[in-house]
Amino acid sequence: GRMEVLQLLRLLLTTTMLGVSQTVNPFVAQQTPPDPCYDESGAPRRCIPEFVNAAFGKEVQASSTFTLSLGKKFEVVYVSLQFCSPRPESTAILKSMDYGKTWVPYQYYSSQCRKIYGKPSKATVTKQNEQEALCTDGLTDLYPLTGGLIAFSTLDGRPSAQDFDSSPVLQDWVTATDIRVVFSRPHLFRDLGGRDAGGEEEGGATSSPYYYAVGELQVGGRCKCNGHAARCVKDKEQKLVCDCKHNTEGPECDRCKPFHYDRPWQRATAREANECLGNLHARRCRFNMELYKLSGRKSGGVCLNCRHNTAGRHCHYCKEGFYRDLSKAITDRKACKGGHRVKERGEGCSREWRRMKVMQLSGGMELCQVVGPVLQSRSPVAPCIKIPAINPTSLVTSTEAPA
């Protein structure tokens, strides 16, 4: 009826607003999805993996402490715990950046921060202590007895969060390979009958232990790829790594590929993709900081042992004796062709001139590299002209008659 039509229209409107299309494209299988790391013109741009719950589907062995291994470095945005039991009276969240070798505190929760963790219950984060773990007495109440939540945001209240791309301190703060949660102290509450809820009788004997029950764990974040990859994949050893672009490599796209050392590696930002640059004609390159600074921080690479008949700091021109094939890009292996060609007598050179070497220039003119007294001409037929000799002349005075 009319009501069903209105509901259908409302559903279609909602679907459109969410950007979800239910239309089936018969050619979708033939289309190649665009690479998020490059724009429509092929220029590099920052790209990041999708936001995920890194704890989804992972088993966690738990007692009063449990540890979640993320498999690689992640940039963690939040850690969330939902309880089936009452929330603990004191909880510590820790992180590791080296796969569990060392641990640093992330956040504390306790109604007795000073006593349990040696921290004040109220503290302010400034730019001088943005990596300091805080303690709060919030989210520690006994009630609700079930369904209580502890949620920690890694960037909340951190001054540099609004300019995250420019803050190496915060980039390091959100990075983790493992998350550990330690329940330090349960609530000790008593029922009306004179015994506590954990079964401790008035005489001190405990009939049943206290327990913690976590119904759901979420660790929201992204695979850390420094803006140079749009996804993470498993390598041959089934380890999670970034699918790096922009001529970068490494588990987190944290270094430039070989031969791409024209400038130092940098994290991609919304303003600059910071693609690693190089040249395909050299197997070895080195970086020169002085050249990089002199270039206005644009180029500092120096190619070693240029191949394919190229030369120069970037292997960007043809070496002596070879000329550029303009039909190919300079990065092409066959961009430089031929060698010195010797023009014999009769090939546009007069008989009295000495033998000359001719090299093709990029503009199509022939350059005379000669031993004899000749100049370059504009003529494609006779590119070399002889330097005219200056004959000595006699001075003519007013008293002398002309010859």
Helix (H) or strand (E) holding 9: helix 2-17
Give the CATH number, domain containing residue 143. Answer: 2.60.120.260
Whether residue 206 is contained in a domain is answered as: no
pLDDT of residue 389: 57
Q: Is residue 286 part of a domain?
A: yes
Give the separation between CA 154 and CA 37, rounded to whole angstroms: 26
Shared-domain flag, residues 348 and 261 = no
* One domain for residues 94 and 217: yes
Chosen domain end from 256, 282, 304: 304
So what's the pLDDT on residue 391?
54
* Model pLDDT, residue 403: 41
Q: Do 216 and 247 fall into the same domain?
A: no
For residue 277, what is the domain's CATH number? 2.170.300.10
If asked whether residues 84 and 164 sit together in one domain, one would say yes
Shared domain for 123 and 156, answered yes or no, is: yes
Residue 192 lies in a domain: no
Q: Is residue 381 part of a domain?
A: yes
Same domain? For 67 and 216 the reply is yes
**Which residue ranges of the chain lie beneath pLDDT 70?**
1-32, 189-209, 277-280, 339-403
Residue 126: CB atoms within 10 A of its CB come to 10
Query: Does 91 map to a domain?
Result: yes
Virtual torsion, Cα 237, 243, 249, 253, nearest 10 deg: -110
The reply to whether 144 and 279 lie within a common domain is: no
Residues 173 and 136 in one domain: yes
Number of domains observed in the structure of the chain: 3
Could you tell me if 163 and 295 lie in one domain? no
Is the domain of 253 the same as that of 374?
A: no
Among the candidates 247, 282, 304, a domain finishes at 304
Q: Any alpha helices (H) in 18-112, and if so which ranges?
A: none
Same domain (yes/no): 266, 366: no
Q: What is the pTM of this model?
A: 0.66
Residue 200 lies in a domain: no
The pair of structure tokens assigned to 32 is: 């190649």
What is the tens place of the pLDDT at every residue in 198-254?
A: 444 444 444 456 778 898 999 999 999 999 999 999 999 999 999 999 999 999 999
Q: How far apart are CA 198 and CA 195, in angstroms?
A: 8
pLDDT at 263: 78
Task: Determine the pLDDT at residue 288.
Answer: 77
Range of the domain at 292: 230-304
- Nearest Cα residue to 103 out of 58, 65, 136, 150: 65
324-329 long-range contacts, Cβ below 8 Å, gap at least 24?
324/362, 326/362
- pLDDT tens column, 32-45: 678 999 999 889 99
In a domain, 313, yes or no: no
Same domain flag for 248 and 218: no
- From the list 173, 285, 266, the residue with the least C-alpha distance to 227 is 266
**Within a domain: residue 2?**
no
